[in-house]
Structure 1
Amino acid sequence: MLTSEFYGRQVRCDMEMVSQKNFDGNCNYLNMKIYVETYGCALNKADTEVILGILAKRGIRVVDSVDDATIIIVNTCGVKAPTEFKILKRLKELRKLSKPIIVAGCLPKINLEKIKETLPDYAAILGPDSYESLPEIILQIMSGRKGIINLNGKPLSRLTLPSVRTHPVIGIVPISQGCLGNCSYCAVKFARGRLISYSPEDIVKKVKQLLLEGCKEIWLTAQDTAVYGIDIGYSLPQLLEDLVELPYEYRIRVGMMNPAYLKQIVDELIEVFKSPKIYKFLHIPVQSGSNRILKKMNRKYTIEEFKELVKLLRTSLPKLTLSTDVIVGFPGETEEDFQETIKLLEEVQPDITNVSRFAVRPRTEAEKMSGKLPGWKIKEIIINSNETTLGSFVKVKIVDANITHLVGKIV
């Protein structure tokens, strides 16, 4: 039994998911026990499944307790400052165990110096394209070497690498890596690079494999699913058409997409979204309700275009669940800009709104911008906004329930 750690929650996965014909055991690995901890998005979860697959192929045992481990791997995220802080704090805690630590994922390519400062005796630091080198690096660590850095591996086609699924019925399928945007606040572009779309043939093959293994739900993930295929002469709607034609009973969940590129494929996307095999869910981050701030963010759409997109989608897909993201306190944001965001949310009424306080990410354009608000002020703005709804009576539609709580949306 292999295990992994997602957001502090243990997830079990069967060793049998790795085909025996792919086993490439080495007696040098027999006494090794690896503990893996993961932070971040669905793509990072998929990366951990690849890490587990690479380890399993070499016969390396993965354990569910850090106390039992010979080596610790932390697969990091660097999209937000609070997540980085949480990871760095965790690295300090793990360092006390005096065990070799491999820091992997996005954070090494976003803030390498901070990792070195926090963990000066690191065993290895790997970028997200360097996972194929893990078995060899582990052998070097076991022979006493440390301070290994491998950040710039060849971009991986994650669909052709071994992987170990960490959920019994959900398969996570990366369809691309990188993006075509250049948002002024985003540091993930330094880790994931420009768009590289995976071939539709490899994606369909991977989905078929997962369905045959018993998956009932497929998550298509990327930094921006809307740009899929632009670099290879294909598109997300075409890929979805390929997938819904597969003769299996399952559901597809499509990951986050930038409004700037969604607007280019929205008509075709609506048509394929009418398939019963696709969840009527879209995550479309708007980030601000102010066109002035959107321009400073380098987002390539207007609020008017966003509202038109939402109107078209909801008219065409009445059961659509809409999720969006908002950043509060972006450099130069005024009270008027903030109120425009509130007005937009009241008008559009997303089913889910993820609100983040702006925090500087290293080497971004926003890092150099003037007009930054202190963190306490941004928090105060968010709290004051939330308090305006406290004590109000609203109509709520219950959309989910379990033994401990109900989940609803305001109607």
Structure 2
Amino acid sequence: MTVSEQGARTYQVRTFGCQMNVHDSERLAGLLEEAGYLPAAEGETPDVVVFNTCAVRENADNRLYGNLGHLRPIKAKHPGMQIAVGGCLAQKDQGEIIRRAPWVDVVFGTHNLGSLPVLLERARVLREAQVEIKESLEVFPSTLPTRRESVYAAWVAISVGCNNTCTFCIVPSLRGKERDRRPGEVLAEVRALVEQGVLEVTLLGQNVNTYGVEFGDRQAFSKLLRACGGIEGLERVRFTSPHPAAFTDDVIEAMAETPNVMPSLHMPLQSGSDRILRAMRRSYRAARFLGILERVRAAIPDAAITTDIIVGFPGETEEDFQATLDVVREARFAGAYTFQYSIRPGTPAATMPDQVPREVVQERYERLVALQNDISWAENKAQVGRVLEVLVAEGEGRKDDATHRMTGRAPDNRLVHFTPAGGHGRPRPGDMVTVEVTQAAPHHLIADGPILALRRTRAGDAWEARQSAACGAGASGAGGRSPVLLGMPAIRRG
């Protein structure tokens, strides 16, 4: 007998896009569970499938409609099943989704996540599709209930929306102008998370370092970082993504002087050509960008810096591309999310002349990836011999790995695969292990020696308690599994 046959309806959330979408999906799960839904067990057909969509990634619409097409015959075999589509693509396409996929029951936008349970019920009672798209934010999403995926690490949104007008990006028109939460509200949420066992928080914003613009405090973000440093039990603070044009020295000082702010920084470059940066409406130039990196490394020598780069923006010449390669060589990024430019309907860049031929974009992309892989590998090799405290993550390392390595994150956010040996017992997700790096690869570090120390944490206790509760619920037929979140693919961020 399935859960739904016992009376409670089950749900599954499928997420595409950025960290903000992942965090929004945690809220959608929280809303549904507050309304009485239960997460669908693995292998079970859910009563409700929610797509939380992205409009930035290439072929986002094809991916959505492909998934909807796959669900159509499944829904036909399961009377009462409902499909909802939300997120950025829903905000953009609105009623077009129902026209192209009339078996969808609910469409909701980025500004009305909280409406989902009501819209589902209304569609079920009236037996007709419900489309509700708000044009502006009325309730800050962080006030909504949240069903968090991790017990040891949490996203905390400090703002939503964006005031920039980058020509390649459609996010501002879908998320609206920047709206900032008050510092006291953010800190209260962080404290509550820590009380629940969370060790690490990541502060989120479309342009996280412009936080405070709405209430007129240009140093609000650096003050918030320092305030997080005073929260007892909070061991790691991260943030994403800042904008180079607004990245000020007070933020660098706060990072360097606040012990629990981690030595990692994601700073989107997008292009190393000043001409292309102007065409993108990115209000900084390559020299300013490199100057920021220089100051960060002077204050935080061990900082690992990552970036986003777009290849083949309209009008990009070989000279422009060489300028990007030059900046990459000088910047020595620990890693980079690299993207081939493709037309995004609704953006100014979509109608620009001199669109670069796909084969040229592909060839440049391959050269950039090869260069960055060489740099990443060299930077990682410099880590060999270092002793690091690693926050153990959920899941194993490589499935075909005979050593059964576990995985976690170093303070600088590098991925570390380690062997759980050394007589300390098996670490749990949320625990801390101290290991020595023995090998390096372009995208991760390996620690194959014994664990030097194991620190069991409240987060590990919380993970263990959740696993026990889930097993008990599963044994009684009540589900108890986490909602499905389909990864966190990297996207272009401002």
The TM-score bracket by the shorter chain reads 0.7 to 0.9
Give the C-alpha shift of residue 148 in structure 1. Answer: 1.3
Q: Which of 54, 73, 77 is 2:31 aligned to?
A: 54
Q: Which residue of 1 aligns with 2:132?
A: 150
**Does the 8 Å CA contact 1:91/1:118 hold for their aligned counterparts?**
no
Structure 2 residue 307 is the aligned partner of structure 1 residue 292? no
Q: Which residue of 2 aligns with 1:255?
A: 240
Spell out the pairing of 1:399-410 with structure 2 (5 A cutoff): 400-402=415-417, 406-408=440-442
Q: Which residue of 2 aligns with 1:227?
A: 210
Give the C-alpha shift of residue 376 in structure 1. Answer: 3.4
Q: How far apart in 1 are the matches of 2:172 and 2:342?
A: 16
SS in 1 for 2:310: strand
Q: Which residue of 2 aligns with 1:13?
A: none
Q: Which residue of 1 aligns with 2:452?
A: none
Q: TM-score, normalised by structure 2?
A: 0.72
**Does the 8 Å CA contact 1:179/1:227 hold for their aligned counterparts?**
no
Q: Which residue of 2 aligns with 1:3?
A: none
Q: Which residue of 1 aligns with 2:227?
A: 242
Q: How far apart in 2 are the matches of 1:375 and 1:212?
A: 51
**Does the 8 Å CA contact 1:324/1:352 hold for their aligned counterparts?**
yes
What amino acid is the match of 1:103?
V
Q: Which residue of 2 aligns with 1:78?
A: 55
Give the C-alpha shift of residue 180 in structure 1. Answer: 1.8
Spell out the pairing of 1:84-103 with structure 2 (5 A cutoff): 84-98=61-75, 99-103=81-85
Give the C-alpha shift of residue 386 in structure 1. Answer: 4.4
Moved more, 167-176 or 269-278: 269-278
SS in 2 for 1:220: strand
Give the C-alpha shift of residue 383 in structure 1. Answer: 2.0
Deviations 1:53-104 (A, max 9, x none): 1112222222144742112111111122244433332222222322421001
What amino acid is the match of 1:129?
H
Q: Which residue of 2 aligns with 1:132?
A: 114
Give the C-alpha shift of residue 389 in structure 1. Answer: 8.5
Give the C-alpha shift of residue 308 in structure 1. Answer: 0.9
Gaps of 5+ in 2: 1-5, 76-80, 384-413, 420-438, 445-494
Q: TM-score, normalised by structure 1?
A: 0.86
**Does the 8 Å CA contact 1:159/1:202 hold for their aligned counterparts?**
no
Q: How far apart in 2 are the matches of 1:289 and 1:391?
A: 18
Q: How far apart in 1 are the matches of 2:308 and 2:314?
A: 17
Q: How far apart in 1 are the matches of 2:372 and 2:312?
A: 20
Q: Which residue of 1 aligns with 2:88?
A: 106
**Does the 8 Å CA contact 1:80/1:359 hold for their aligned counterparts?**
no
Q: How far apart in 2 are the matches of 1:337 and 1:148?
A: 47
Moved more, 52-61 or 320-329: 52-61
**Does the 8 Å CA contact 2:276/2:316 hold for their aligned counterparts?**
yes
Summarize the Cα distance change of 1:206–1:388 in structure 2 as closer, same or farther, 3 Å threshold: closer
Q: Which of 147, 157, 160 is 1:164 aligned to?
A: 147
**Equivalences, count:** 381
SS in 2 for 1:309: helix
Q: Which residue of 1 aligns with 2:469?
A: none
Moved more, 400-409 or 268-277: 400-409
Structure 2 residue 286 is the aligned partner of structure 1 residue 303? yes
Flag the structure with more relative contact order, 1 or 2, with Cα contacts below 8 A and sequence separation at least 6.
2
Q: Which of 2, 7, 10 is 1:33 aligned to?
A: 10
Q: Which residue of 2 aligns with 1:365?
A: 348
Give the C-alpha shift of residue 190 in structure 1. Answer: 1.6
Identity of aligned residues (%): 27
Q: Which of 274, 283, 308 is 1:325 aligned to?
A: 308
Pairwise CA RMSD = 2.6
Give the C-alpha shift of residue 356 in structure 1. Answer: 0.3
Give the C-alpha shift of residue 301 in structure 1. Answer: 0.6
SS in 1 for 2:29: helix
Spell out the pairing of 1:376-395 with structure 2 (5 A cutoff): 376-386=359-369
SS in 2 for 1:402: strand
What amino acid is the match of 1:242?
A
SS in 1 for 2:265: strand
SS in 1 for 2:74: coil
**Does the 8 Å CA contact 2:162/2:171 hold for their aligned counterparts?**
no
**Does the 8 Å CA contact 1:328/1:357 hold for their aligned counterparts?**
yes
Deviations 1:132-156 (A, max 9, x none): 1112111122225333111116433
Deviations 1:254-281 (A, max 9, x none): 111110111xx32343234432201111
Summarize the Cα distance change of 1:202–1:389 in structure 2 as closer, same or farther, 3 Å threshold: closer
**Does the 8 Å CA contact 1:322/1:351 hold for their aligned counterparts?**
yes
Q: How far apart in 2 are the matches of 1:366 and 1:57?
A: 42
